[in-house]
Amino acid sequence: MARFAYRKSVEEKAGGAMAEDLKGAALLFDLDGTLVDTVDDLAAAMNHALGEAGLAEVPVGEVRHLVGHGARRMLVRGYQLSAGREAEAEELDLALARFLDHYQENIAVHSRPFDHSIEMIEGFLARGARAAICTNKREVMARLLMETLGLSQMFDAIVGADTTSAAKPDPAPVRLCLEKTGAQRAVFIGDSDNDIRAAKAADLSCFLADFGYGPTTLAAEATARFSSYRDASRLIDAALKA
Protein backbone atom coordinates (compact mmCIF):
# COMPACT_ATOMS: atom_id res chain seq x y z
CA MET A 1 0.00 0.00 0.00
CA ALA A 2 1.26 3.47 -0.81
CA ARG A 3 2.81 5.21 2.18
CA PHE A 4 2.13 8.66 0.77
CA ALA A 5 -0.55 9.59 -1.70
CA TYR A 6 -0.48 12.37 -4.22
CA ARG A 7 -3.99 13.14 -3.08
CA LYS A 8 -4.81 16.30 -4.97
CA SER A 9 -4.80 16.75 -8.69
CA VAL A 10 -3.34 19.89 -10.18
CA GLU A 11 -6.85 21.11 -10.97
CA GLU A 12 -7.98 20.60 -7.37
CA LYS A 13 -4.96 22.48 -6.05
CA ALA A 14 -5.76 25.35 -8.41
CA GLY A 15 -9.39 25.49 -7.39
CA GLY A 16 -10.62 23.94 -10.64
CA ALA A 17 -8.79 26.26 -13.01
CA MET A 18 -5.23 25.63 -14.14
CA ALA A 19 -2.88 28.50 -13.40
CA GLU A 20 -0.63 29.33 -16.32
CA ASP A 21 2.17 31.52 -14.97
CA LEU A 22 4.65 28.61 -14.93
CA LYS A 23 3.47 26.80 -18.04
CA GLY A 24 6.52 25.58 -19.95
CA ALA A 25 8.66 25.40 -16.80
CA ALA A 26 9.97 22.27 -15.12
CA LEU A 27 11.57 21.23 -11.85
CA LEU A 28 14.10 18.40 -12.19
CA PHE A 29 14.93 16.51 -9.00
CA ASP A 30 17.66 14.20 -7.95
CA LEU A 31 16.08 11.42 -5.86
CA ASP A 32 18.22 9.95 -3.05
CA GLY A 33 19.14 12.61 -0.52
CA THR A 34 17.26 15.34 -2.38
CA LEU A 35 13.63 14.36 -2.73
CA VAL A 36 13.49 11.22 -0.58
CA ASP A 37 15.53 10.24 2.48
CA THR A 38 16.49 6.70 1.45
CA VAL A 39 19.72 6.05 3.35
CA ASP A 40 18.31 3.64 5.96
CA ASP A 41 16.84 1.30 3.35
CA LEU A 42 19.95 1.49 1.17
CA ALA A 43 22.17 0.79 4.17
CA ALA A 44 20.00 -2.19 5.12
CA ALA A 45 20.33 -3.62 1.60
CA MET A 46 24.08 -3.12 1.50
CA ASN A 47 24.58 -4.60 4.94
CA HIS A 48 22.41 -7.56 4.00
CA ALA A 49 24.69 -8.22 1.03
CA LEU A 50 27.80 -7.82 3.15
CA GLY A 51 26.37 -10.03 5.88
CA GLU A 52 25.61 -12.79 3.38
CA ALA A 53 29.30 -12.66 2.48
CA GLY A 54 30.28 -13.03 6.14
CA LEU A 55 31.35 -9.40 6.49
CA ALA A 56 30.60 -6.83 9.18
CA GLU A 57 27.99 -4.13 8.69
CA VAL A 58 28.92 -0.60 7.68
CA PRO A 59 27.37 2.09 9.92
CA VAL A 60 24.55 4.09 8.36
CA GLY A 61 26.56 7.28 8.84
CA GLU A 62 29.25 5.89 6.54
CA VAL A 63 26.73 4.68 3.96
CA ARG A 64 25.20 8.15 3.74
CA HIS A 65 28.19 9.44 1.80
CA LEU A 66 28.23 6.47 -0.59
CA VAL A 67 24.78 7.14 -2.05
CA GLY A 68 24.45 8.74 -5.46
CA HIS A 69 26.84 6.74 -7.63
CA GLY A 70 24.80 3.55 -8.02
CA ALA A 71 24.60 0.28 -6.10
CA ARG A 72 27.76 -1.27 -7.54
CA ARG A 73 29.96 1.60 -6.44
CA MET A 74 28.30 1.55 -3.02
CA LEU A 75 29.26 -2.09 -2.66
CA VAL A 76 32.81 -1.51 -3.88
CA ARG A 77 33.27 0.97 -1.07
CA GLY A 78 31.33 -1.24 1.33
CA TYR A 79 33.83 -4.04 0.77
CA GLN A 80 36.71 -1.66 1.32
CA LEU A 81 35.23 -0.45 4.61
CA SER A 82 34.09 -3.83 5.89
CA ALA A 83 36.72 -6.24 4.59
CA GLY A 84 39.61 -3.82 4.21
CA ARG A 85 40.16 -4.98 0.64
CA GLU A 86 38.82 -4.77 -2.89
CA ALA A 87 36.03 -7.16 -3.81
CA GLU A 88 36.75 -9.76 -6.46
CA ALA A 89 34.59 -9.44 -9.58
CA GLU A 90 32.55 -12.56 -8.77
CA GLU A 91 32.07 -11.42 -5.16
CA LEU A 92 30.85 -8.06 -6.35
CA ASP A 93 28.41 -9.55 -8.84
CA LEU A 94 26.91 -11.80 -6.15
CA ALA A 95 26.75 -8.97 -3.64
CA LEU A 96 25.01 -6.75 -6.18
CA ALA A 97 22.38 -9.40 -6.88
CA ARG A 98 21.75 -9.82 -3.15
CA PHE A 99 21.61 -6.07 -2.68
CA LEU A 100 19.07 -5.55 -5.45
CA ASP A 101 16.85 -8.45 -4.34
CA HIS A 102 16.76 -7.18 -0.76
CA TYR A 103 16.27 -3.56 -1.76
CA GLN A 104 13.45 -4.35 -4.17
CA GLU A 105 11.58 -6.20 -1.42
CA ASN A 106 12.24 -3.51 1.20
CA ILE A 107 12.46 -0.32 -0.83
CA ALA A 108 10.36 1.94 1.36
CA VAL A 109 10.45 0.50 4.86
CA HIS A 110 12.00 3.70 6.20
CA SER A 111 12.27 5.94 3.11
CA ARG A 112 10.24 9.13 3.25
CA PRO A 113 10.02 12.35 1.22
CA PHE A 114 11.86 15.20 2.89
CA ASP A 115 9.65 17.58 4.83
CA HIS A 116 7.55 19.95 2.71
CA SER A 117 8.95 18.61 -0.60
CA ILE A 118 5.63 17.22 -1.85
CA GLU A 119 3.64 20.31 -0.85
CA MET A 120 6.17 22.45 -2.70
CA ILE A 121 5.95 20.38 -5.87
CA GLU A 122 2.16 20.37 -5.77
CA GLY A 123 2.23 24.15 -5.53
CA PHE A 124 4.37 24.45 -8.66
CA LEU A 125 2.29 21.90 -10.57
CA ALA A 126 -0.83 23.87 -9.73
CA ARG A 127 0.71 26.82 -11.55
CA GLY A 128 1.37 24.86 -14.74
CA ALA A 129 4.92 23.65 -14.12
CA ARG A 130 5.99 20.05 -14.64
CA ALA A 131 8.33 17.85 -12.60
CA ALA A 132 10.79 15.06 -13.37
CA ILE A 133 13.23 12.86 -11.50
CA CYS A 134 16.83 12.56 -12.71
CA THR A 135 18.67 10.02 -10.57
CA ASN A 136 21.66 7.71 -10.61
CA LYS A 137 19.42 5.00 -9.21
CA ARG A 138 18.39 2.33 -11.71
CA GLU A 139 15.19 3.43 -13.40
CA VAL A 140 13.21 0.36 -12.34
CA MET A 141 14.15 0.96 -8.70
CA ALA A 142 13.38 4.67 -8.89
CA ARG A 143 9.96 3.93 -10.37
CA LEU A 144 9.27 1.25 -7.77
CA LEU A 145 10.18 3.61 -4.95
CA MET A 146 7.94 6.40 -6.21
CA GLU A 147 5.07 3.99 -6.89
CA THR A 148 5.42 2.49 -3.42
CA LEU A 149 5.32 5.96 -1.89
CA GLY A 150 2.29 6.83 -4.04
CA LEU A 151 4.05 9.73 -5.76
CA SER A 152 4.88 8.55 -9.29
CA GLN A 153 2.00 10.37 -10.98
CA MET A 154 3.46 13.72 -9.96
CA PHE A 155 6.32 13.30 -12.43
CA ASP A 156 6.28 13.47 -16.21
CA ALA A 157 9.57 11.59 -16.36
CA ILE A 158 11.64 9.32 -14.14
CA VAL A 159 15.10 8.97 -15.66
CA GLY A 160 17.63 6.63 -14.05
CA ALA A 161 21.32 5.88 -14.41
CA ASP A 162 20.53 3.22 -17.01
CA THR A 163 17.86 5.14 -18.95
CA THR A 164 20.37 6.90 -21.18
CA SER A 165 23.85 5.98 -22.35
CA ALA A 166 25.47 7.79 -19.40
CA ALA A 167 24.64 8.70 -15.82
CA LYS A 168 25.13 12.02 -14.03
CA PRO A 169 27.38 14.02 -14.07
CA ASP A 170 26.90 13.52 -17.82
CA PRO A 171 24.11 15.89 -18.95
CA ALA A 172 22.37 13.23 -21.09
CA PRO A 173 19.79 12.23 -18.43
CA VAL A 174 19.10 15.88 -17.64
CA ARG A 175 18.46 16.63 -21.31
CA LEU A 176 16.14 13.63 -21.57
CA CYS A 177 14.12 14.99 -18.64
CA LEU A 178 13.85 18.33 -20.43
CA GLU A 179 12.67 16.57 -23.57
CA LYS A 180 10.07 14.51 -21.73
CA THR A 181 8.67 17.47 -19.83
CA GLY A 182 8.70 19.73 -22.89
CA ALA A 183 10.29 22.40 -20.72
CA GLN A 184 11.33 25.72 -22.17
CA ARG A 185 12.95 26.69 -18.87
CA ALA A 186 13.90 24.56 -15.89
CA VAL A 187 15.88 24.29 -12.69
CA PHE A 188 17.69 21.32 -11.17
CA ILE A 189 17.41 20.44 -7.49
CA GLY A 190 20.11 18.15 -6.13
CA ASP A 191 22.44 17.37 -3.25
CA SER A 192 25.83 16.49 -4.71
CA ASP A 193 28.69 17.41 -7.00
CA ASN A 194 27.23 15.07 -9.64
CA ASP A 195 24.06 17.16 -9.68
CA ILE A 196 25.95 20.44 -9.87
CA ARG A 197 28.08 19.18 -12.76
CA ALA A 198 25.14 17.71 -14.67
CA ALA A 199 23.03 20.83 -14.28
CA LYS A 200 25.88 23.10 -15.30
CA ALA A 201 26.59 20.98 -18.38
CA ALA A 202 22.91 21.28 -19.36
CA ASP A 203 22.98 25.04 -18.72
CA LEU A 204 20.51 24.89 -15.82
CA SER A 205 20.45 26.60 -12.45
CA CYS A 206 21.17 24.15 -9.65
CA PHE A 207 19.77 24.42 -6.13
CA LEU A 208 21.61 22.38 -3.53
CA ALA A 209 19.95 20.68 -0.55
CA ASP A 210 22.11 21.16 2.55
CA PHE A 211 20.47 18.16 4.21
CA GLY A 212 21.46 15.76 1.41
CA TYR A 213 24.12 13.10 1.15
CA GLY A 214 26.76 14.96 -0.85
CA PRO A 215 29.61 15.24 -1.50
CA THR A 216 29.38 18.97 -2.08
CA THR A 217 32.92 20.09 -2.78
CA LEU A 218 31.53 22.16 -5.67
CA ALA A 219 28.85 23.87 -3.58
CA ALA A 220 30.17 27.30 -4.53
CA GLU A 221 29.20 26.55 -8.15
CA ALA A 222 25.54 25.93 -7.27
CA THR A 223 23.07 28.73 -7.89
CA ALA A 224 21.97 28.65 -4.25
CA ARG A 225 21.71 26.35 -1.25
CA PHE A 226 18.67 25.65 0.88
CA SER A 227 18.05 23.97 4.22
CA SER A 228 14.32 23.31 3.82
CA TYR A 229 11.85 23.05 0.97
CA ARG A 230 10.01 26.07 2.29
CA ASP A 231 13.17 28.08 1.54
CA ALA A 232 13.65 26.32 -1.78
CA SER A 233 10.20 27.28 -3.04
CA ARG A 234 11.01 30.96 -2.99
CA LEU A 235 14.41 30.48 -4.63
CA ILE A 236 13.04 28.25 -7.40
CA ASP A 237 10.11 30.55 -8.06
CA ALA A 238 12.46 33.50 -8.58
CA ALA A 239 14.71 31.51 -10.92
CA LEU A 240 11.84 30.28 -13.09
CA LYS A 241 10.47 33.82 -13.43
CA ALA A 242 13.84 35.39 -14.25
Q: Which residues carry out catalysis?
A: 30
- Which candidate, 85, 10, 25, 17, places its Cα nearest to that of 55? 85
The conformation of residue 17, written as its DSSP 8-state character, comes to S
Question: What does the CA dihedral 120, 224, 34, 201 come to, rounded to 10 degrees?
Answer: 120
d(CA 202, CA 170): 9
**Identity (one letter) of the amino acid at 135?**
T
Describe the crossing of helices 229-241 and 117-125 by its angle, rounded to 10 degrees: 30
**E strand residue ranges, the chain:** 25-29, 36-37, 112-113, 130-134, 157-159, 185-190, 205-209, 224-226
d(CA 204, CA 196): 9
At residue 192, φ and ψ (nearest 5 deg) are -150, 170
